[in-house]
């Protein structure tokens, strides 16, 4: 049995509703509406709509689609937008301005909407008005596509981007790349679930896009990945591991082909989870011994899956197989002879654990990079120590893309590491009063050499010394 699912109670509000809708769209491609997994999701949607309308004292949830973003109540929903290409694309293609879900929408009505959004282009009615007619004909009365936004409304809605969740022009491209790669992982997982193969070349194409962008601006890629508070399918983990692995590989070798292979191995290292039952992958509590064994099989499933594709890459296969094994042959799968030997596998292994420790999860806040490094350095024989030290140097105490507070009270974004782990190159983003700086006023400082500015990062108390 295989499954594509997520922890349904993890998110609340409109974002939670949209996340569940996305799960329904993905599961709607795998299962019939009578399958318990899809049934649960659709029933969850009915429940969430009712809850949202009751708590917000409204009669509907209205979600706009503006310039590729999901928007609610004039605010862009960054986290939901990142993994919602599957929802945004059909709405935009039909020329609609969004969707409205009115209180009282039933299970069958959600079935109708999921079928329409998942249908082939030719079966969607080509325009939003035709699509609404199709929905009505299939008995959907409480959900419909909204007319395109008038220029005035669009301008009004887009001003929502101008406040605290401002979306910079330069962020648009990383966002598209991020959405594209999440969309691809959804498709690959669906294929793996169904026991079908997929094209590794498509994945390579996506890695190329990521690498090009990382060459120009690694900070913006990591920054957009940070927006995702918690993603419905944990695909965000694989994407972030891929970004980290590509950035790390770039610091180790100029060989673009090797960098690409590391990125590919990072992106697909957990693909075997698509073959492990949903209840186990997303179990809220501790796993039983039997469930643990089942979960551990994701390594074997992943390696088999990646071995079966055309033009299989041995690095991706070995990484999927051995990313939970230690340097002294502990961990799983148990082989009695195998430990990760390829440097490329070792790179992904480091990025995998670092990402898991520093990511936000429904059950834990993000851990600081320094704390994560300390834990990793204390895990004897788990990693290649020379590589781990190199990773820490490359990633820094304040990794690229993170926001730091300076002694002046200003906020800045880390854009590059320097020789001094504590003193990266930063760009100012907010003044001491908390006002967002205009793009032209965003001065760049090398904190390792710019003594004349007398700026330093304030919240830097942790030390790595004890962990060595």
Where does this chain bind Fe ion (CB under 5 A)? Answer: 270, 352
Minimum distance between the CB of residue 5 and Fe ion, rounded to whole angstroms? 17
**Residue number with CB closer to Fe ion (270 or 410):** 270
Q: How far apart are CA 372 and CA 358, in angstroms?
A: 7
What does 302-351 look like in DSSP terms, one character per residue?
A: HHHHHHHSTT--HHHHHHHHHTTB-TTS-BSS--SS----SHHHHHHHHH
**Residue number with CB closer to Fe ion (206 or 352):** 352
DSSP label at 397? S
Instruction: End-to-end CA distance of the chain: give it in Å, rounded.
Output: 44
Minimum distance between the CB of residue 241 and Fe ion, rounded to whole angstroms? 6
Cβ-based neighbours of 372, under 8 Å, separated by 6 or more:
354, 357, 358
The three state secondary structure string of 152-169 is HHHHHHHHHHHCCCCCCH
**Residue number with CB closer to Fe ion (80 or 241):** 241
Minimum distance between the CB of residue 304 and Fe ion, rounded to whole angstroms? 15
Minimum distance between the CB of residue 361 and Fe ion, rounded to whole angstroms? 12
Q: How far apart are CA 420 and CA 221, in angstroms?
A: 23
Cβ–Cβ < 8 Å for 412, 428 = yes
Minimum distance between the CB of residue 323 and Fe ion, rounded to whole angstroms? 6
**Residue number with CB closer to Fe ion (15 or 352):** 352
**Residue number with CB closer to Fe ion (101 or 243):** 243
**Residue number with CB closer to Fe ion (206 or 270):** 270
Task: Of 447, 453, 452, 439, give the one whose Cα is nearest residue 422.
Answer: 447
Minimum distance between the CB of residue 318 and Fe ion, rounded to whole angstroms? 13
Structure tokens at 361: 């999860």
**Residue number with CB closer to Fe ion (3 or 352):** 352
Torsional class of 221: left (φ above 0), alpha (ψ -120 to 50), beta (otherwise) = alpha
Minimum distance between the CB of residue 11 and Fe ion, rounded to whole angstroms? 21
Residue length of the chain = 468
Task: Of 413, 86, 93, 355, give the one whose Cα is nearest residue 223.
Answer: 413
Minimum distance between the CB of residue 382 and Fe ion, rounded to whole angstroms? 14
What does 162-192 look like in DSSP terms, one character per residue?
A: GSTT---HHHHHHHHHHHHHHHHHHHHHHHH
**Residue number with CB closer to Fe ion (109 or 270):** 270
Q: How far apart are CA 317 and CA 44, in angstroms?
A: 37
**Residue number with CB closer to Fe ion (20 or 352):** 352
Torsional class of 180: left (φ above 0), alpha (ψ -120 to 50), beta (otherwise) = alpha
Minimum distance between the CB of residue 237 and Fe ion, rounded to whole angstroms? 6
Minimum distance between the CB of residue 34 and Fe ion, rounded to whole angstroms? 32
Minimum distance between the CB of residue 256 and Fe ion, rounded to whole angstroms? 24
**Residue number with CB closer to Fe ion (144 or 269):** 269
**Residue number with CB closer to Fe ion (86 or 323):** 323
Q: How far apart are CA 394 and CA 402, in angstroms?
A: 14
Cβ–Cβ < 8 Å for 78, 227 = yes
């Amino acid at each position: 049995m295989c499954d594509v699912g997520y922890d349904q109670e993890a998110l609340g509000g409109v974002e939670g509703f949209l996340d569940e809708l996305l799960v329904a769209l993905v599961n709607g491609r795998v299962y019939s509406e009578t399958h318990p997994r899809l049934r649960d999701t659709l029933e969850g949607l009915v429940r969430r709509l009712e809850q949202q309308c009751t708590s917000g004292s409204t009669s509907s949830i209205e979600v706009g689609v503006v310039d590729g973003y999901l928007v609610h109540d004039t605010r862009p929903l960054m986290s939901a937008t990142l993994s919602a290409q599957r929802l945004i694309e059909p709405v935009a293609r039909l020329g609609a301005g969004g969707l409205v879900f009115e209180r009282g929408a039933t299970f069958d009505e959600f079935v109708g909407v999921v079928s329409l959004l998942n249908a082939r282009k030719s079966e969607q009615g080509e325009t939003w008005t035709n699509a609404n007619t199709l929905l009505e004909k299939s008995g959907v009365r409480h959900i419909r596509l909204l007319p395109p936004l008038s220029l005035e409304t669009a301008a009004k809605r887009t001003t929502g981007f101008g406040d605290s969740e401002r979306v910079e022009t330069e962020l648009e491209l990383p966002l598209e790349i991020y959405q594209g790669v999440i969309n691809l992982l959804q498709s690959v997982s669906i294929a793996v679930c169904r026991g079908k193969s997929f094209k590794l070349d498509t994945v390579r194409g996506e890695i190329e896009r990521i690498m090009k962008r990382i060459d120009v601006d690694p900070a913006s890629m990591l920054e957009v990945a940070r927006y995702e508070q918690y993603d419905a399918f944990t695909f965000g983990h694989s994407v972030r591991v891929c970004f980290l692995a590509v950035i790390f590989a770039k610091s180790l070798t100029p060989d673009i082909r090797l960098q690409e292979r590391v990125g590919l191995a990072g992106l697909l290292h957990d693909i075997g989870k698509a073959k492990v039952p949903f209840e186990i992958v997303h179990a809220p509590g501790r796993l039983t011994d039997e469930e643990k064994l089942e979960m551990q099989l994701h390594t074997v499933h992943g390696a088999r899956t990646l071995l079966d594709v055309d033009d299989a890459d041995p690095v991706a296969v070995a990484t999927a197989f051995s990313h939970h094994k230690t340097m002294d042959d502990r961990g799983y799968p148990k082989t009695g002879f195998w430990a990760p030997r390829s440097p490329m596998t070792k790179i992904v292994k480091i990025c995998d654990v670092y990402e898991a420790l520093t990511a936000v999860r429904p059950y834990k806040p993000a851990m600081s990079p320094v704390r994560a490094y300390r834990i990793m350095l204390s895990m004897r024989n788990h990693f290649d120590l020379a590589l781990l030290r190199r990773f820490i140097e490359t990633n820094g105490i304040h990794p690229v893309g993170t926001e730091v507070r300076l002694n002046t009270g200003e906020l800045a974004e880390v854009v590059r590491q320097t020789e001094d782990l504590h003193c990266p190159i930063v760009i100012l983003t907010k003044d001491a009063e908390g006002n967002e700086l205009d793009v032209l006023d965003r001065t760049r400082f090398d904190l390792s050499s710019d003594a004349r500015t007398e700026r330093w990062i304030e919240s830097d108390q942790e030390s790595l010394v004890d962990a060595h």
